[in-house]
Amino acid sequence: MDVREMMFGWDETFTYLTCPDCSTVWLPEIPDDLGRYYPQDYYSVDIDPEDALGRPGVRQFASAVARSVLFGSSRLASTARRAVRMRQFHSYVTVLESIAIAGLSDGKQTRVLDVGCGSGIMIYALALAGVERPMGVDPFAPADRTFSNGALLVRRGLDDLEGTFDLVMFHHSLEHVPDPAASLQSAVAKLAPGGRLLVRMPTVSGEAYETYGSAFYGLDAPRHITIPSRAGVDALAARVGLRVVTTRDDSTSSQFWASEQVLRGIPLMAPTSHMVSERKSLFTRAQIDAWNERARALNSTARGDQSAWVLERA
């Protein structure tokens, strides 16, 4: 299956294969210059947590929502989700809800590690919720950084990190590595007794991939090297001595509008992309609302385009 690079719209195509046993999709020939596909404005490193969540007013609101999701009844988050229509805010709440299913075993003293953390936005959010000194690790981070709320980002690989953790998270980072089994094995070595892994990834076991095929934006060639099926995640976990405890689909309307953009030849970072400018977007508010409703329905039946898997030692 030939897949175009459609984040930046470069004129490049990559050939993906499908596993005959589990239907996982993967890129067999990884570019030697893979770093070129992660420029300085790549979205996972382009958002400064202090700017996005640390400004006066925003910080207090983001903190209250995070505490509600992780340690409260989630009523505030539910009310805020209805009142605030910003796509970025909905994504913030969605990710926190997926973290909540993994559980913070020791409350605010839970030792949390985010692998491939980018700019550190999720550890910053956890610290806003009161989690003590959550840590993020990313070998491509500009430098080590301690945030104003105590979250710590370190510029190194997982194998270079000392200590153990109660919760190790991969938020859309595992699909980017050449050997996901090796990365999971390294994470298992960092788990404290009774610890858990939270892995969030796109999946080809959903309506979006079945509908759009090579135009499914979750393929994100060539950055996404392995896009697993649900059966593929089960098999991968078993290979490294883990088992799936529970899952939660957390897909959004992006599975539809971003894939529709691919069909129309509109890169994700184009000026008219819905991600860049909702005002210049081709899609109406009614279309986005309908796609959000469809995403919620798919999530409820494990048919979304991305999921959160909670894993523990078998």
- pTM across the whole model: 0.92
The pLDDT value given to residue 146 = 96
The pLDDT value given to residue 44 = 53
The pLDDT value given to residue 205 = 98
Which positions ≥6 away from 16 have C-beta within 8 Å?
A: 1, 2, 3, 25, 26, 27, 28, 219, 221, 227
The pLDDT value given to residue 19 = 97
Q: What is the DSSP letter of 138?
A: -
In the CATH scheme, what is the code of domain 2-313?
A: 3.40.50.150
The pLDDT value given to residue 272 = 96
The pLDDT value given to residue 83 = 47
Rounded to whole angstroms, the Cα distance separating 101 from 186 reads: 22
Rounded to whole angstroms, the Cα distance separating 246 from 312 reads: 10
Amino acid sitting at position 246: T
The pLDDT value given to residue 77 = 57
The pLDDT value given to residue 80 = 56
Give the closest residue to 262 by CA, choosing from 275, 249, 279: 275
pLDDT, averaged per 10 consecutive residues of the chain (314 residues), comes to: 96 97 97 87 70 85 86 64 57 86 86 93 92 92 91 93 94 94 96 96 98 98 98 97 96 96 96 93 95 96 97 95
Give the closest residue to 49 by CA, choosing from 120, 143, 127: 120
Return the percentage of the chain with pLDDT > 70, whole number: 92
Which positions ≥6 away from 139 have C-beta within 8 Å?
A: 155, 156, 157
The pLDDT value given to residue 233 = 98
Return the percentage of the chain with pLDDT > 90, whole number: 72
Q: What is the DSSP letter of 95?
A: H
The pLDDT value given to residue 93 = 82
